[in-house]
Structure 1
Amino acid sequence: MNLTETQRRITRSLSNGFVDQRFEGTEFLMPRFIYNNAGDSMLMHLERELDHCSSFTFVIAFVTESALAALKVKLADLARHNIQGRILTADYLTFNAPKAFQELLKFENIEVRIADSKAFHAKGYIFDHADEQYQSVIIGSSNLTSGALMRNYEWNVKFTSHDNGVLTDKLISEVEKEWDAAQPLTNKWIDQYRIRYASKPKVSREELLDDSSPQYLIGDGDIKPNDMQRDALSSLDEVRKKGEHRALVISATGTGKTYLGALDVKNFQPKRFLYIVHREQILKKTVKSFQDVLWPKYLKKYGELYGKQTRTKFEAEFGIISGNDKNFSAKYLFATIQTLSRDEQLTRFSSNYFDYILIDEVHRAGASSYQKVVDHFSPNFLLGMTATPERMDDFNLYEMFDYNIAYEIRLQVALDADMLCPFRYIGITDYERDGEVIDDPSNLKWLVSEERVNYVVKQTEYYGYSGEVLRGLIFCSRTDEAYDLASALSARGYPSEAITGSTPQDQRDAIVQQLENDEISYIITVDVFNEGVDIPCVNQIVMLRNTQSSIVFVQQLGRGLRKFQGKDFVTVIDFIGNYKNNYLIPIALTGDKSRSKNNARDDLELKQVSGISTISFSEIAKERIYNSINNTALDSLKVLRDDYQDLKNRLGRIPLLTDFQQHGTVDSMVFANRFNNYYQFLLKMKEDIHLSFNEEAILSFISLELMNGKRTVELFLLQQLIKNYGQLDEQKFEILIQHENIFFDDTVKHSVSRVLSLDFFTTANQKKYGDNSAVISEAGYYRLNSDILAALDSNPWFKRLIEDAISVGLLRAKDCHYMTNQRFTLYQRYTRKDVCRLLGWENDVSSTVYGYRIRQQACPIFVTYSKSDEIEDSIKYEDRFINADIFQWYTRHNVKIDSKEVQSILDPTTTIHLFIKKSDDEGSDFYYFGEVTVESYKQETFQAKDKVEPIVKMLLRLKQQARYDKYLLFEK
C-alpha cells in the first residue's frame, strides 16, 4: 500500500508515542499526555490546536462562563479567519448555568446543539485539518471549566489519526450520530431550561468542580479572620509588643482591609477610636463593617432577648464626622479628612483623646490636611492601610510609620490565595477607521463617534460578564467623553451615568446605588474611581484609555476584584491603541517590577496568572505590545530613580542591590548593564560615596561578569576569601563547594582561576577591569589581590558594594534556579559569553562563536529562530523544531559530512548544547534547551546568491523533551 506523506508522518508519530520514542515523530501529530502541570495545561493545548485547525468540534457535558471567557479572544480570532466550529453539550444534572448556554449563542462561527442523551457525560475535543486529511483529538477528564483547563489534576490524552483510521472513523461516526439526534440550542430552549434549572435540585458547583472560594468564617455570630487577616493581626500584635506605636499594612484591594482594621481594634480594645478616610462615599459601609465585627457575641446570639433598646445603645457608640453628621462624643468615630482637618473640628479634641487611630488609603497622607491631623494627635497606636504605597511625590510614607511594615500582601499573591475574584483580562485593538487607530484622546469627536461606540458595544456584548446582570465600570480619557459616552450607551439600551471630579458626593452615592440596584448598566468615569470606592458587584471593567501608569492600571483593575455572590470572575476589556507605553500592560498584570525587557516579553506570553486568572490578547494587540516592549527603554534613569527613591523611603537608608532583589523590584543586572556597576548609579542619585578607579574597576568586573549568578563558584570563592581575610585553602574550599552542592570539576576549577585572574577575558575587558588578578591561586591556596584586600579594610563603601554584588549574585542564582549541580539550567537565558565561561574554555571567544563552536569536546549551538530580513540569504537556514523532542539544524554552508568540523560534532565524546532565542529583537540572551544528540544527518546543498554550496542537515534529539510552554514560543 502506498502511504501519503501525511500518513507516513502520522505512522512515525504514533510509533513514537506508543511503540518507541526513538521514532522521529512530528510534534503536532504525536500522542501526548495532558494533566495541567508546570508549563503545560489543557488550555494551552486547546488554544494551540485551535490556532492550526480548519474546523473543530467540542463534545463536552459541562460548560462554564469562566472557561468560555478564557477562550473568547482565540475564538474571535478564528471567526476573523472564517474557521467554523461545533459544540455538542447537554443539560446533564442541570449543572450548566442558563447564562453559560446564553454565552454559547454569541459565537457566530460556532453551531451549538444539546445532546439527546439524559446521561451525556462526554469530554472530547476534535480538530479537523482538511488540507492534510487528519484529525487531532483530545479525550479525557477535562470539561470546559476553568479548573479543568488550568488547575485541576486531570488526565487527558491527545492523539492524531488519518481520515481512514478505524478509531477516528468510529469516533466521528459516534459524534455525528449524537449530533444528528441533538437539538439546536435556541433562546426558547434556554428559557425552558431556566425554569428547570431554578426548580430542580442541582449538584453543587463545589461538588463537581474545585472552583469554590473561602469566605469570611461566621461562627457563634462572630466574624472570624481569614488566613491573611490572621497573619496580619499576629504581626500587628508583635509590633506593639516591641513597643512600637505606628505600623503600616499594605494589602491589595479586596483582601479585607476594613475587616482587618476592625478585628485589630477588637483586639486592642481602645477607649476611643478614630477612623480617617478620604471619601465620604464608603464611610457608612465602613461603620457597618466595624459594627458587624465589634457587636458583642452575646448580643448577636441573644439579640432578640436584649431587644431593640440594647442594639440602639450599641449603635450609639459609633459616630460620623462628615458633611452634616457631627457626632463628636461617640466611642468609635469615623471621619473624612476634609471635615476633620478643619480647625473648628480638630480643636475639639485633645492630642491624646484617641488611643487608636486608623488611616485608610494612607498613601495620601503626604497631603497637608493629613499631616495637620497626624501632627495634632498622639495616639497609643497609629495604623495606616493602603493597597498602593508607591507615591509619585516626595513624601516618605514609610518614615511616617517608623518603617514598621506589619504586613504586606500584593495583588498577585492575593489572587493565588483565592482571596479575590479571578479576572479574565482581554486585550483587543481599539476601533480602526480606514485601517488606522486614531490615538489622539483630545479628539472628542472621534472618541464618541457612532462607529467607535458601536464597536465598543459589540465587544462588550461579546466578551460579556459573569452573572445574570451587567454591572460595568468604564474608564475613559476625558470628562466630556464620559458624559457623551453615557448618553450614547443609554441610547443603545445600556442605561449609563457619568461620574467626574465635579460630581457632588451625594450624587455619586446615588449613582453607585443605581448600579447596585440594577437601575443602570454602566458608570463611566475618568480617574475618580481609581481607589477608595467599594462596589463589589462590578463584573465588567472597560478600559477606553491609554495605560499611563502600572499603579493606576492595578487600581482600576482592583475595582472589579472583590468577591460578590453570583460573580465567578470579572471581565476586563482593554481597548489597545498604538501607544508607546503599551509595554506597561503585561508588567502591570503580572506585578513585574524588574525593568527587564526579557521579563516583559515573558509576561506577554503568559496565558494564566495568579490562580485561575487569565490574560488573552488578540493577535494585533499582542503584536503592538511586543513592539512597544522592544522600542521602549524600560530602564530609563527617571524610572530607576523613582524605584530607587521608593525603596529608600521604605528602608530608611540607601538601598543595596540585595534589597532590590529581596523586595522583588528592579533586576540587579539592569543596573549593571546600564551603568557598569551600582556605584555609578548611586553617584547619579547624588549619594556621598567615593571609590577609586581600581576599586570601581573590580566592582564592575564582579557586577558585569559574575553577578548574573549563572555560575556560583567564583561568587562563593570571593565571599569565602573576604570572610577568611583574603586566604583560603583550596582543599577546604572544595569541601565547602561539595557541601553546597555546586557543580565543580577540574574544568571548572581551572576556569575559575582563568576568570578571577582575568586571563579568560579579552584585552579590552582586562583593561576595563583593572588589569590585575582579583584572585591568585598558588601553593594550594587561593589569595585575594592585596590591593583589593587593603581597599576592603580602608573603604567601608567599597566593602559594602563588593559584598552586596556577591550576595545578590548568589540570590539571583537561587531565585533563577541557576544554583544546580550542573553547568546549565534548562530554560534559563545565557549569552555566548556566559557559555564560553561555563564550558570552561580558556578564553572568551564569544565574538567569533556565531552559530556554533567546537572546543574541548563541547559544541554549543546558538539558533535565532526568526531570522531578520536584513540577514543574508546565505545564512538563513530552516533551523526549527520538528517536535518537542527533535530539532532540525543546519551547519554553516560550504561544509561537508567528512569535514573535520562535522566529524567533531558527530564524535560521541562531544557534548552538544542547544540555545535558542526568538529573534534579534530579544538581545543577546538565548534560552537553554539542554543537551542534544545527533539523531541523523544528511548532506544537502544550499544556494547562496548564484553559488551552490554543500551544507549538512542534522536532526538533534533533546535529552529532555522541551517543556510545552517553551516549545510554543518557537513553534512556526
Structure 2
Amino acid sequence: MEDFIQDLQDSLHKGFIDQQYNKSSRYIPELLINNASQNKNVLSTILEELDSCNSFLFSVAFITEGGLATLKSHLLDLDRKGIKGRILTSTFLHFNQPKVFKELMKLTNVEVKMTDIPGFHSKGYIFEHREFYSLIVGSSNLTAHALQVNHEWNVKLTSYENGEVINHFKRQFEDVWDEAHQLTDQWIENYEKNYTPIDFKKAEKVIELPTEYKVNSLKEALEIKPNKMQIAALEQIQAVRDAGNDKGLVISATGTGKTYLSAFDVRRFAPKKMLFIVHREQILHKALSDFQLITGGIDKDFGILSGSSKQTEAKYLFATIQTISKQQMLDQFDPEEFDYILIDEVHKAGAASYLRVIDYFNPEFLMGMTATPERTDDFNIFELFDYNIAYEIRLQEALEEDMLCPFHYFGVTDLEYNGELIDDATILSYLVTEERVNHILDKINYYGFSGERVRGLMFCSRKEEAIKLSEALNNKGLRTVSLTGDTSQEDRIHQVNRLENGSLDYIITVDIFNEGIDIPSINQVVMLRQTQSSIIFIQQLGRGLRKHDSKEFVTIIDFIGNYKNNYLIPIALSGDKSQNKDNIRRNTTETSYIKGVSTINFEEIAKKQIFKSINNSNLTAVKILKDAYMELKNRIGKVPYLYDFVTNHSIDPVVIADKFKNYYLFLLKMKEEVSNITPYENSVLTMLSLEILPGKRKHELILLDQLVRHCKISNRDYIHLLEESKCLVDQATLQSVHRILSLSFFSQNDKKKYGTVPIVEFKSENYSFNSKIKESLENNSYFKRLFEDVIKTGIEKSKKYDSGKSLTLYEKYSRKDSCKLLNWDKDESSTMYGYKPKHQTCPIFVTYHKNNEVEASVDYGDEFISPELFKWYTRSNRTLQSDEVQKIIHAENNSIDVHLFVKKDDDEGTGFYYMGEVKPDKDSVHQDKMADNKPVVHMNMVMEQPVESKLYNYIVNGLE
C-alpha cells in the first residue's frame, strides 16, 4: 500500500506541479480524446478499466444501443467472474430510446436505475480496483460516437479509497441513486407509451441515394453528384484510360456503391451503347434503375437481356451472363457494337461463359468490378484486365470513409458437448440439440440487433444443419426458413422479400448468400460454421454492411468452437496477410485497425480458442506460402521481389526468410526460372535475409545501402547519415555494427553459413565491401537486384522500431537479437538460458506459462504482481552469495542495465516481448527452495514503466 501511495503522489506531482518530474507516472491525470490518426479513443480506456476492475459505477445521461454494444462482451466476461456494476441514467430530452432500456435489462450483473432530476446530464465512470479507484469524467456519454469518434474531452484520475475527490463523486452518485427508480419491464412499458422519438440522424450519414428518388430527365440526373470516394475513383479510372489502356479493374468492398460508381463513369464516358453483365437475373432490374437514376434518359434507352426479356436494341443493355454468353445470342451482335462493357462480380470471369463474351466483343473500354479478386482456382483476374487496377478500397478503408454500415463483431463461445467445444468432427445431431439451440438463442438475444425487429442471416456449415436448425428455431417461436443450393431461384427471391417485409426473422443458409444477394436491411449476421477462408468470411460479414434507414449498425455473432482454422478470423478482420503469428496475435488483442464506430469483441474463452488455433497452425506450410505468392504474382503480373510483398500487404518477408533462408531459394521452391548465383552469393543473401532483413537495427541497413550506391563510405559520413536518420550513435553500437558485418559476432556454424569472410571491411576510417561482393555486384545484375531488394525491404521494416534506442518497447526479440542489440562481442544466446549479466547489461528471458511437463528444477514461479512489478526467480542452485545474483541485486550501483523480455508460452517461438528496463527491489530479495529442494533467489523487479494493459492481460491470462 505504501508503494501505491508513493506512486500516486509522484504521479500527481508530475501531473499538477512539474511535468519534468521523472518519478512514477502510472497514475498521472490523463486527458482522454478520440483521435483516429493516433489510434486513440475513450472507449479503449473504459474497456481496460472494466476488464481489470472489481466493480464499477456509471452515471451517464445518454445511452445508445451502439454504445452499449461496445461493452457487452466485456460485461459478460465480468459476469462470469462475479463482478457487478451499477448504471445510473435518465430520460432527459427523451434521447434514450425504449429499446436501449430493454437491452440494459439483459445485463444480469448490472443494476440500472433511472433518475428524473431535471436536466440530468452527467458523464462519469468510476472503477473500483484492489488498491484504488479510477474516475473518468468529462463529455462522453455512453454512445458509440462519443466513445470512439466525436471530439470529446474526458479526464481520467486515480484516487486512493480515502481520497476526498473520489468520495465526493461516490456520494453524489449514491445520493442520486437512492432517489432514482429501478429499471423494470413495467417501467419500460410505461415509458414506451409516452415516448416521443427525436430524429438525431443526419442526412449525410446515408451514402447511397434514396431508392424512392426517381429521375426522368438528363438534366436532373446531372445534378446528382458523386460522393468523396466516387470522385477519387472516377479520377483514377479516367487516368487508366488516359494512359491508353482499354481495360480497368475496380476492387471495392461489398456495400460501397460499385453500381453507382460505374454509372457515374458511364455518364462521363457517354458511350453510344453500353453492356452491363451480371450473373443473376434479380440484380438486373436494380442495376438498371440505378443507372437510369444517374445517367438519366427515357425508359426505352434501358433494356434487359435475360431468359425472359430480349430488349437488345436498348442503348444501355443489362444482361445475364447465362443469356449473353450463348453463341447464337452473341452472333446477333457486332463485336464492335458496345463501346463500354461492364462486368459485375468479375471474379467469376474465369468461367468459359465469361471468357467467350470477353473474347467476342471489342469495346473501347472494359470495366470489371469485384469485392474479392483473389481466386482459389488459379485463374488470374488481374491478367484479364492487363493488371490495371483502376481503383481499390477494402473493408477497413470503407469503414474509415463511413461508406458502410458500422458493425459490432462478437466472437462468442460455442457450446461444449461432453466437455468438448464443437469442432470439425461434431456430428449433425449434436449441432441441433436442445442445449445448442438454447445456447444460440441466448447469444443472439443478448447481443441483439439495431432497429425495431430482427432481420437476420445465419450461415451453417452443412445443408442438413440449416434444415434441422430452422425447424428447431421455429419450434422455439422464431420465424425462420432454410435455403440451400437445392432451393429454386424463385423461392430464394420470395423468402428474401419475406425477410425484408417482416414475415421472417431469419434466413438460414450454407454458402449460397455469400455474394450476389442484396438485403440492405439485414441487421444481424450469425456465423455457425468454421471459417474456411478469409474471403468467404468477409463475404458473409459483408451481407449486413449496406446502409439502411432501419438500422444504425449490424451485429455479427460468430460462434467460435474448437476449429483449427480459427486463426483466419483475425486475419480476415484485419486484412493482414503477413502469415506472421505475432501479427495475428496482436490483431486478436488489439483491434484498433477497425475504424469509425465499428468494434471487434471476443469473449475471453473464444479468444483463447483463437490463440490455441494460432499456436497449432502451420502458417508457413509451403502450400500456404505458395498460394499467397501466386496471388501476389497474379496481381502485379510479374515475379515479385520481397519489397512487393511489403507494398502489397502480403506475406511478411521475414516469414519467407525464416523458412527458406533467402528469397532466391524460395523462388527455386516456387519453380521459377531464375538466373544463377554462386554458392558464396547465396551465403551472403542468407546472412542479409536472416540477420539484416528484419530491420530491428537500422544502422547496418544504412551502411549497406550506401555501399551498394557508392562502393565506399567514410566513417565520418556514415555517422552523419546515422544522425540524420535519428539513430543511436555511440562507440559501442558502431563497434557492434562492425562485428555483425565482419561476421566476428557470429558462432562458427553461422559464419560458415554466411560465407566465412567479412562482408564489409573497415580500413583507414573507410567502409567497403570485400572484393568478392564487389565483383558480384558488378558482374551479376540478378544478385545485385536481390541484394538491393533485401536492403530496401529491411529499411521499410525498420520503420516500426525506434532507431534512437537499442530496443523498442513491446517489440519481439530473440536471445540472439539481445546479444546483438545490447552490443555484446559474441552471440552467446546458446548459453544465455534465462539470463546473463555481461558487458554492463543483463537481459532476462521469461516464458510466462511453463509447459505442464517442465522439470521441478526449472519450474520457476516468475509472475507479474502488477503491470509495474514482476516477481523474478534466478536459476536454481543459486544463493544470495552467488556472484551473478549479487551483480543483479546491485545492478543500479554497478551501472548494469537489466532488461526484461517475456513471452506467453513456448508456442510463441523464439521471440520475447521487450518489456523495458527493470530495477531490482532490494527489500524484496529472498532466498527460497525449488520443488527439488535446491536453493533459488527471487526478487521483485520494478518496471521502468508499467506494461501496457492489452499486452499485460494477453501474457498473464493463460489458455487453460
Give yes or no for TM over 0.5. yes
Residue matched to 2:181: 183
Residue of structure 2 equivalent to 1:47: 47
Aligned mates of 1:443, 1:883 — CA distance in 2: 44
Aligned equivalent of 2:113? 113
TM-score between the two structures when normalised by the length of structure 1: 0.91
Task: Find the counterpart in structure 1 of residue 268 from structure 2.
Answer: 267
Number of the residue aligned with 1:429 = 413
Distance 1:159 1:471 in 2: 44
Letter in 2 for 1:242: A
**SS of residue in 2 equivalent to 1:321:** strand
Aligned equivalents of 2:746 and 2:556: distance in 1? 51
Give the counterpart of 2:462 among 478, 481, 484.
478
The answer to whether the 8 Å contact 1:39/1:965 transfers is no
1:828 Cα deviation from its structure 2 partner: 1.8
* Distance of 2:22 and 2:865 partners within structure 1: 12
Displacement of 1:390? 0.5
Which region of structure 1 is more displaced relative to structure 2, 672-681 or 440-449? Answer: 440-449
What is the aligned partner in structure 1 of residue 806 from structure 2?
Answer: 823
1:421 offset after TM fit, Å?
1.5
Q: Which moved more, 1:666-675 or 1:828-837?
A: 828-837
1:677 alignment counterpart:
662
Choose 713-722 or 908-917, whichever is displaced more: 908-917
Decide whether the 8 Å contact of 1:215 with 1:226 is kept in 2: no
Q: What are the within-5 Å matches in structure 2 for residues 852-867 of structure 1?
A: 852-867=835-850
Map 1:495-894 → 2, pairs under 5 A: 495-611=479-595, 612-689=597-674, 690-724=676-710, 726-814=711-799, 817-818=800-801, 820-873=803-856, 875-877=858-860, 879-881=862-864, 883-892=866-875, 894=878
Report if the CA contact (8 A) 2:879-2:927 is conserved. no
SS state of the match for residue 507, structure 2? strand
Aligned to 1:388: 372
Q: Distance in 1 between matches of 2:265 and 2:954?
A: 48
Please state how far the C-alpha of 1:83 moved relative to its aligned partner: 3.4
Q: Is the 8 A contact 1:895 1:952 kept in 2?
A: no
AA partner of residue 605 (structure 1):
T
- How has the CA–CA distance of structure 1 residues 617 and 442 changed in structure 2, closer, same or farther, with 3 Å as cutoff? closer
Q: Counterparts in 2 of 1:892-907, with a 5 A limit?
A: 892=875, 894-896=878-880, 899=883, 901-902=887-888, 905-907=891-893
Partners of 1:110 and 1:580 in 2: CA distance: 35
CA distance in 2, matches of 1:283, 1:915: 59
Aligned-pair CA distance for 1:594: 0.5
Partner of 1:306: none
Provide the rounded CA distance (Å) in 2 between the counterparts of 1:140 and 1:589: 32
Quick one: distance in 2 between partners of 1:833 and 1:746? 21
Letter in structure 2 aligned against 1:258: T
CA distance in 2, matches of 1:289, 1:243: 29
Q: What does the per-residue CA deviation read over 1:501-552, in whole Å, with 9 as the maximum and x for residues that have no partner?
A: 2322222222211111112111111111111211111110000111111110
Query: What CA distance in whole angstroms lies between the structure 1 residues aligned with 2:259 and 2:124?
Result: 46
* Cα shift at 1:323: 2.3
Instruction: State how far apart, in whole Å, the 2-side matches of 1:25 and 1:442 are.
Output: 53
Q: TM-score, normalised by structure 2?
A: 0.92
| Offset of residue 876 of structure 1 | 4.9
Q: Which amino acid is the alignment partner of residue 527 of structure 1?
A: D
Contact 2:889–2:922 under 8 Å retained in 1 = no
1:608 deviates by 4.2
Shift of 1:766: 0.5
TM-aligned CA deviation for residue 80 of structure 1: 3.2
**Aligned counterpart, 1:155:** 154
How far off its partner does 1:698 sit?
0.9
Secondary structure of 1:821's counterpart equals coil
Q: Which secondary structure does the structure 1 equivalent of 2:196 belong to? A: helix
C-alpha offsets along residues 542-571 of structure 1, whole Å, 9 cap, x if unaligned? 001111111100111111111111322111
Aligned to 1:79: 79
Root-mean-square deviation (CA, aligned residues, Å) is 2.8
Cα distance in 2 between the residues matched to 1:165 and 1:242: 69
Greater displacement, 80-89 / 824-833: 80-89
- Count the aligned residue pairs: 936
Shift of 1:934: 5.3
Whichever residue aligns with residue 846 of structure 1, its letter is S
- Equivalents in 2 of 1:575, 1:929: separation in Å? 34
3-state secondary structure, aligned to 1:157: strand
Q: Is the 8 A contact 2:248 2:367 kept in 1?
A: yes
In the alignment, does 2:357 pair up with 1:363? no
Deviations 1:935-959 (A, max 9, x none): 655431121245464636254341x
Please say which of residues 111-120 and 251-260 is displaced more in the overlay: 111-120
Distance 1:560 1:890, change over 3 A: same
Post-superposition CA distance 1:599-634 (Å, at most 9, x none) = 111111124441132222222211111111101101
3-state SS of 1:223 partner: coil
In the alignment, the residues of structure 1 paired with residue 707 and residue 573 of structure 2 have an alpha-carbon distance, to the nearest angstrom, of: 43
Name the SS of the counterpart of 1:481 in structure 2. Answer: helix
The structure-2 alpha-carbon separation of the partners of 1:84 and 1:733, relative to structure 1 and needing over 3 Å to count, comes to: closer
Q: Aligned pair 1:922/2:918, yes or no?
A: no
**Which aligned pairs between 1:268-287 and structure 2 lie closer than 5 A?**
268-287=269-288
One-letter code aligned to 2:439: Y
Q: 1:809 to 1:554 in 2, by over 3 A?
A: same
**Paired position in structure 1 for 2:402:** 418
231 and 599 in structure 1: CA distance in 2 versus 1, 3 angstrom threshold: same
CA contact (8 A) 2:274 2:315 kept: yes
- In 2, are the aligned partners of 1:95 and 1:203 still within 8 Å (CA)? no
Are the equivalent residues in 2 in contact too, given 1:657–1:805 (CA < 8 A)? yes
SS in 2 for 1:844: coil
* In 1, Cα distance between equivalents of 2:146 and 2:634: 44
Alignment of 1:444 onto 2:445: no
Residue from 8, 11, 18 that aligns with 2:5 = 11
Farther off after superposition, 119-128 or 56-65: 119-128
**2-side partners of 1:963 and 1:422: how far apart?**
28
User: AA paired with 1:682?
Assistant: L
Q: Which blocks of at least 5 consecutive residues in structure 2 are unaligned? A: 16-20, 214-218
Do the aligned partners of 2:14 and 2:28 also contact (CA within 8 Å) in 1?
Answer: no
Percent of pairs identical after alignment? Answer: 47
In the TM superposition, 1:291-440 aligns within 5 A as: 291-295=292-296, 314-440=298-424
Q: Secondary structure at the match of 1:465?
A: coil
CA distance in 1, matches of 2:932, 2:870: 29
Counterparts of 1:160 and 1:212 in 2: how far apart (Å)?
A: 41
Bigger Cα displacement from structure 2, 883-892 vs 764-773: 883-892
What secondary structure does 2:70 align onto? helix
User: 386-395 or 832-841, which moves further after superposition?
Assistant: 832-841
Q: 1:805 to 1:161 in 2, by over 3 A?
A: same
Contact 1:60 1:124 in 2 (8 A): yes
How has the CA–CA distance of structure 1 residues 942 and 133 changed in structure 2, closer, same or farther, with 3 Å as cutoff?
A: closer
Q: Deviations over 1:352-394 (max 9, x none)?
A: 0000001111111100000000000000000011111111012
Deviation at 1:765, TM superposition (A): 0.4
SS class of match (1:566) = coil
Offset, 1:50 = 3.5
Matched residue type, 1:526: V
133-142 or 790-799: bigger deviation: 133-142
* 1:290-321 CA distance string (max 9 Å, x none): 1111126xxxxxxxxxxxxxxxxx12111111
Partner of 1:906, secondary structure, is coil
Equivalent-residue separation in structure 1 for 2:453 and 2:307 (angstroms): 33
Q: Say if 1:716 and 1:478 are closer, same or farther in 2 by CA, change over 3 A.
A: same
Whether the aligned pair in 1 keeps the contact of 2:457 and 2:524 (CA below 8 Å) is yes
Unaligned runs of 5+ in 1: 297-313
Report the more deviating stretch, 878-887 or 707-716.
Answer: 878-887
**What is the CA-CA distance between 1:428 and the residue it aligns to?**
1.4
Aligned to 1:351, the other structure's residue is in SS state: coil
Partners of 2:430 and 2:742 in 1: how far apart?
65
Cα distance, 1:652 vs structure 2: 1.4
Cα offsets for 1:812-834 (capped at 9, x unmatched): 112xx226333222222222211
